[in-house]
Amino acid sequence: MGRLGSLAGVCAAVLALSAAPASAGAAPKSVLKSEDRLSALYAQGIARIDKGWILTGRFVIDRVNEKFKPIVDNRRPIPPNLLAQGYNHVGDIDVVGKYIYAPLEQGNYDLGHQITARYNLRTLKFIDYVVLPQHENSFVTVDPKTMIAYTMDHFDGNTILRYDVRKKWRVLAPLQMDMTLQHTQGGDVADGAIWIQSSDPQNSTWRVDLHTGHADLLGSSGHVPGEGEGIDATKLKSGRLHTLTVDPNINPVWLGHFAVVG
């Protein structure tokens, strides 16, 4: 994605946080523990699976092992009929059960509709898709307990869209956040929150409470002025958060592993 966020937006968010009443505990912060260098192919999305990861680029969905060696690859993940409709971008994905849920995006955002597709986790083959009433589609994350999917209507916004996957992606009331996030790119739901990665001027990382909509600014995925992209929130020995950030020189893509403290 191009960088659409503004420094003013980030400053406003920081000021809003500083103006908020002090809480009983310290605000959570992300702390970098380690990084891995990945191919520039994997500049969009990430999801943890058993003994590896699913990684995506604009036209790539790969299943890789712990050493990031491709085990299965799909270098033509978007079917020709969807490519013909302008869908030319795989975003930040999620994995639930035997399915990969992948946002597919077309660039005419004024149309007011985008597509989220399912792929077979084992083979990476395309299964089906649903058309959703939203303008942009940088990420999708699905709560495995409730099967509620979360995404955002615009890259910049103060609401998170919600869909009931079990009921044919029925539209639910959106989650209202207490601030506007700028240029959101990745998201993952875990432990009562949506963890969001942005490509705003600071590559900010956020935690949004699923019940209250309160947003905590955790820190940055780094490598500014490169661009923050996907995020995974699987708790591992390597960290609580795992973020993709495109290097300022485009190559490599950095996979940062972060602890969350506070």
Across residues 57-63, what is the average pLDDT? 98
Between CA 175 and CA 183, with CA 179 as vertex, the angle to 5 degrees is 90
Q: For the residues of the chain, what is the DSSP string, one character each?
A: ------HHHHHHHHHHHHHSPPPSSPPPEEEEEEEEEE-TT--SEEEEETTEEEEEETTEEEEEETT--EEEEES--S-HHHHTTTEEEE-B-EEETTEEEEEEEES-GGG--EEEEEEETTT--EEEEEEES-S--SB-EE-TTT-EEEE-SSSSEEEEEEEEGGGTSEEEEEEEEEEEEPSEEEEEEETTEEEEEE-STT-EEEEEETTT--EEEEEE---TTSEEEEEE---BTTBSEEEEEE-TTS--EEEEEEEEE-
pLDDT at 15: 38
Q: 148 in a domain, yes or no?
A: yes
- Domain presence at residue 213: yes
Could you tell me which residue, 12 or 130, shows the higher pLDDT?
Answer: 130
Task: Report the percent of the chain where pLDDT is more than 90.
Answer: 90
Give me the pLDDT at residue 26, please: 83
In a domain, 9, yes or no: no
pLDDT of residue 69: 98
Whether 16 is in a domain gets the answer: no
Burial of 83 (0-12, 13-18, 19+ CB in 10 A): middle
Phi, psi for 244 (deg, rounded to 5): -100, 130
What is the count of structural domains for the chain?
1
**pTM, whole model, 2 decimals?**
0.90
Range of the structural domain that residue 87 is part of: 26-261
- For residue range 107-141, what is the model confidence (pLDDT) as tens digits? 999 999 999 999 999 999 999 999 999 999 999 99
What's the confidence (pLDDT) of residue 194?
A: 99
Reading the block at residue 14, the tokens are 């920081």
Q: pLDDT tens, 197-219?
A: 999 999 999 999 999 999 999 99
Residue 4 located in a structural domain: no
Q: Provide the pLDDT confidence category of residue 86 given band limits of 50, 70 and 90.
A: very high
Confidence check: pLDDT of 8 > 80: no
Nearest CA among 91, 97, 86, 143 for reference residue 117: 91
Whether the pLDDT of residue 20 is over 70: the answer is no
pLDDT of residue 25 exceeding 80: no
- Is residue 217 assigned to a domain? yes
- List for the chain the helix, strand, coil content (%; round to 5): 10, 50, 40
Task: Name the average pLDDT for the chain.
Answer: 93
Residues 150-175 have a mean pLDDT of 99
The pLDDT tens digits for 37-55 are 999 999 999 999 999 999 9
Whether residue 167 lies inside any domain: the answer is yes
Domain CATH for 78: 2.120.10.30
Query: Is position 35 within any domain?
Result: yes
